[in-house]
């Protein structure tokens, strides 16, 4: 496969996690890889730290688009990626997940008649208020190859008329998690003065939770109440930090809430693995908690990952009394092993590419 060139597109934190193992497996098969970082995430703690943690080689090209409105960010990525493809085409573009970088690059490649593959195809929250849902729908509708993480995702794609080139590949996040599990188990968190299973880990960054003052305030009140019983560690996403300052409510946080800078992948999973439970609005963390059998409370009305509820530890919550009771009660949960969350998704994707694409 030495004469075949593949562009791997990454831009935001979850993409870095998803590309790590696939990059290595493709490289070993002899493909020529061009790792393209769009620059959607650019802070050391939102980007570089993930490359170091996961031993991902430095990107070959950085489009350096930075932050802006959805249309501007997506448009800038398209413009810059098109320029790059005009200079040097590739044979296949692989995109991950549901961020703006994903949809921008898939549209650009498709219009230049370059084949495209979407890893994590078919997830649907059926909530078009979320920008990610628009990105998923658009990306799946034009990608040539759709790599689905579970059977529910395959069914969603079928309902939308995708019958050819849908491949049940498994969950690529679990490849990265399994590969690093020993390091995670031995990760030293002693500097945080917390006791295993006696603290709660929380992440929050979705616009619908943090961009509205009343909603953010009610989540802070809810978190303060939980922190009367358990310390809560929160690595603050830059968007959340900005909004807490903007609404002038950072000082409302109780002393038992430990705010820290955004953390690396390995540290984040170590925090999750040792926590009593996790409160989040992240997509990936719903899957990671299910895999690690840690109770997860998701501050959302819906999820594009329902398998984490039916087979895993996840529960959707509102910041209310019911959720408080659930979080503070004894909440051991057991999960079913989920088909193809086995650490071999990258191998299956690369086999498919070798047999069916080239």
Catalytic residues: 205
Quote the distance between the C-alpha of residue 343 and its chain's center: 16
Q: Looking at the chain, how many residues does it have?
A: 358
Q: Rule CB under 6 A: say whether 100 interacts with ligand UD1.
A: yes
Q: Which is nearer to ligand UD1, 98 or 140 (CB)?
A: 98
Q: Which of 10, 12, 94, 233 binds ligand UD1 (CB under 6 A)?
A: 12
Cβ neighbour number for residue 291 with a 10 Å cutoff: 24
Q: In the window 313-342, what residues touch ligand UD1 (CB under 6 A)?
A: none
Contact 249, 224 (CB under 8 A): no
Q: Which stretch binds ligand UD1 (CB under 6 A): 76-84, 95-103, 121-129, 222-230?
A: 95-103
Instruction: State in angstroms the smallest separation of the CB of 283 from ligand UD1.
Output: 6
Instruction: State in angstroms the smallest separation of the CB of 155 from ligand UD1.
Output: 23
Q: Rule CB under 6 A: say whether 138 interacts with ligand UD1.
A: no
Q: In the window 231-260, what residues touch ligand UD1 (CB under 6 A)?
A: 238-239, 242
- Closest C-alpha among 94, 79, 88 to residue 22: 94
Q: Which of 37, 41, 276, 305 binds ligand UD1 (CB under 6 A)?
A: 41
Beta strand segments in the chain, E? 5-10, 32-37, 61-62, 92-96, 115-119, 145-148, 166-168, 200-202, 232-235, 257-260, 277-280, 296-298, 314-316
Q: Which is nearer to ligand UD1, 43 or 318 (CB)?
A: 43
Q: Rule CB under 6 A: say whether 37 interacts with ligand UD1.
A: no
Q: Rule CB under 6 A: say whether 77 interacts with ligand UD1.
A: no
- Closest C-alpha among 5, 50, 46 to residue 27: 5
**DSSP, res 23:** H
Give the contacts of 35 (CB within 8 A, at least 6 positions apart).
8, 10, 19, 23, 56, 57, 58, 59, 60, 61
Q: Which is nearer to ligand UD1, 12 or 93 (CB)?
A: 12
For residues 73 and 67, what is the distance between their CA atoms, to the nearest angstrom? 7
**Structure token pair of residue 44:** 């050391």
Q: Which stretch binds ligand UD1 (CB under 6 A): 40-48, 263-271, 330-338, 346-354?
A: 40-48
Beta pairing class for 5-10 and 200-202: unpaired
Q: Rule CB under 6 A: say whether 99 interacts with ligand UD1.
A: yes
Q: Which stretch binds ligand UD1 (CB under 6 A): 18-26, 97-105, 137-145, 169-177?
A: 97-105
- Closest C-alpha among 329, 323, 332 to residue 223: 323
Q: Which is nearer to ligand UD1, 20 or 26 (CB)?
A: 20
Q: Rule CB under 6 A: say whether 300 interacts with ligand UD1.
A: no
Binding flags for ligand UD1, 178-217, as an x/- string (CB under 6 A): ---------------------------x------------
Instruction: State in angstroms the smallest separation of the CB of 211 from ligand UD1.
Output: 10
**DSSP, res 112:** T
Q: Which is nearer to ligand UD1, 133 or 348 (CB)?
A: 133
Q: Which of 1, 27, 46, 302 binds ligand UD1 (CB under 6 A)?
A: 46
For residues 339 and 169, what is the distance between their CA atoms, to the nearest angstrom? 10
Q: Which is nearer to ligand UD1, 46 or 181 (CB)?
A: 46
Q: In the window 50-69, what residues touch ligand UD1 (CB under 6 A)?
A: 67
Cβ neighbour number for residue 197 with a 10 Å cutoff: 11
Q: Is 312 helix (H, G, I), strand (E, B) or coil?
A: coil
Q: Where do contacts with ligand UD1 occur on this chain (CB under 6 A)?
A: 12-14, 40-43, 46, 67, 98-100, 131-132, 205, 238-239, 242
């Amino acid at each position: 496969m030495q004469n075949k060139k593949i562009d791997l597109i990454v831009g935001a934190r979850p993409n870095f996690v998803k590309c790590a193992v696939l990059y290595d497996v493709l490289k070993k098969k002899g493909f020529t890889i061009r790792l393209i970082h769009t620059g959607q995430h650019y802070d050391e703690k939102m980007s570089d730290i993930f490359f170091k943690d996961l031993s991902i080689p430095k990107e070959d090209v950085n489009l350096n688009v930075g932050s802006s409105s959805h249309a501007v960010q997506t448009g800038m990525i398209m413009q810059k990626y098109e320029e790059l493809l005009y200079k040097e085409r590739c044979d296949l573009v692989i995109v991950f997940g549901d961020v703006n970088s994903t949809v921008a690059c898939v549209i650009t490649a498709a219009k230049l008649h370059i084949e495209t593959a979407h890893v994590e195809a078919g997830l649907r929250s059926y909530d078009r208020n979320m920008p990610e849902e628009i990105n998923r729908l658009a990306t799946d509708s034009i990608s040539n190859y759709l790599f689905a993480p579970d059977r529910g995702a395959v069914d969603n794609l079928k309902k939308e008329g995708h019958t050819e080139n849908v491949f049940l590949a498994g969950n690529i996040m679990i490849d990265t998690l399994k590969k690093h599990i020993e390091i995670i188990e031995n990760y030293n968190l002693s500097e945080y003065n917390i006791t295993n299973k006696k603290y709660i880990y929380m992440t929050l960054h979705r616009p619908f939770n943090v961009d509205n003052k009343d909603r953010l305030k009610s989540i802070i009140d809810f978190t303060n109440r939980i922190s009367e019983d358990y310390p809560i560690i929160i690595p603050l996403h830059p968007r959340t930090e900005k909004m807490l300052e903007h609404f002038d409510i950072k000082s409302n946080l109780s002393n038992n809430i430990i705010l820290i800078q955004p953390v690396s992948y390995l540290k984040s999973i170590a925090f999750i693995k040792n926590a009593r439970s996790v409160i989040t609005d992240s997509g990936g963390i719903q899957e990671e908690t299910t895999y690690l059998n840690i109770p997860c409370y998701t501050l959302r009305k819906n999820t594009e990952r329902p398998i984490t509820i039916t087979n895993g530890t996840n529960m959707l919550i509102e910041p209310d009394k019911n959720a408080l009771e659930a979080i503070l009660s004894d909440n051991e949960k057991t999960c079913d092993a989920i088909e193809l969350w086995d650490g071999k998704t990258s191998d299956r994707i690369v086999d498919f590419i070798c047999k069916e694409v080239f």
